[in-house]
Amino acid sequence: MRQKPNALKIFEALDGRITFTEDQQEKYENFKKGYQSEIWADKRFEKYGWLIIKSLTFHLDGEYACQIDTIIITGDYIFLYEIKWYSKKATDRGKTIQYYSGDEDNPNGPEFKHPREQLKEATEKFKRLMWQLGIKKTLRTYVMFTHPDFVLYNMEEWSLDLVFHSEVESHIEELASTTLRPDDESYHIYNLLMAENLDTSETMPSVPKYNYASTRKVVKCPECNGVIEEVPKNRRKLKCPCCGKLVLINDIAKKALEDYEVLFKETPTPTQLYNWCGGIFNRMRLYKLFYSNKQKE
């Protein structure tokens, strides 16, 4: 399974516990959409028995980490994919993409680096990594847009490295019919690359600064991540006031424990966990859960 980036885990744990700035909220939404997009693509790729690296983050000579969304290794190629969840109308400006503003009189909206350019930069670094590891295999690279509503205007006719939502299935089927199945060398390459994988996203400047004192002491729904204000003392389940789903109270406590471990990189004591939950749980119930989890480790 694809693992959530550490930065996304931190954002999710902080959501409802601190107030995000506008920029932080936008970054959080982008992380969520990006992860959703990658999961969507994973389900299509997994049908064909390829070796798939679901997010590779690596360093080169002390440089800032380079991240590639999806790598597929076959018997004859290595495929690199930049996966995007863009959902608006946009114009291809060559090295940039510009969103449509929604205003007919002033249609030019935000402009940002073209994902093709992002992938070019990542590919150059990946080639250096291949050289360092002694990997010799032909590379093919693509940008995949997974949202069905994304439209890119003014695109060059020969932009065959861009794969849109309606083309994904046929694109993957063509790859499956024209590539060789993974061989021993493919598995060797997979293991070499996975040994380089290191998620350092939590150190990105966009991740909020926080400490224990600055966070609200609340519990949250394991389904929707919404804040739950009250927990019945003598019931096993409750209906989440945010998403309406029926959730186990023990799962709410487990989520609080997991969020603490994500944020502070340690397991809390029973008393710390009780305080972290804002004193909303029965102490004995929380202690039983805590020691039950410890025994499973």
Residues 193 and 242 in one domain: no
Residues 171 and 67 in one domain: yes
Residues 265 and 223 in one domain: yes
Closest alpha carbon to 7 in 79, 82, 57: 57
Residue ranges making up the domain that contains 248: 217-296
What is the pLDDT confidence band of residue 293, given thresholds at 50, 70 and 90? low
Last residue of a domain, one of 203, 226, 251: 203
- Would 212 be classed as within a structural domain? no
**pLDDT higher than threshold 80 for residue 45:** yes
- Would 40 be classed as within a structural domain? yes
Residues 178 and 250 in one domain: no
**pLDDT higher than threshold 60 for residue 297:** no
Burial class (CB in 10 A: 0-12, 13-18, 19+), 161: middle
| Tokens coding 83 | 């996966």
**pLDDT higher than threshold 90 for residue 234:** no
Per-residue pLDDT reduced to its tens digit, 145-158: 999 999 999 877 66
**pLDDT higher than threshold 90 for residue 51:** yes
Residues 77 and 10 in one domain: yes
**pLDDT higher than threshold 90 for residue 296:** no
Closest alpha carbon to 228 in 213, 241, 216, 215: 241
Output the pLDDT for position 187.
96
Of all residues in the chain, what percent are helix, strand and coil, respectively (each to 5)? 40, 20, 40
Per-residue pLDDT reduced to its tens digit, 257-272: 999 999 999 988 888 9
C-alpha angle 184-187-191 in degrees, rounded to nearest 5: 140
User: Whole-model pTM?
Assistant: 0.87
Q: How many domains does the chain have?
A: 2
Burial class (CB in 10 A: 0-12, 13-18, 19+), 260: buried
**pLDDT higher than threshold 90 for residue 163:** yes
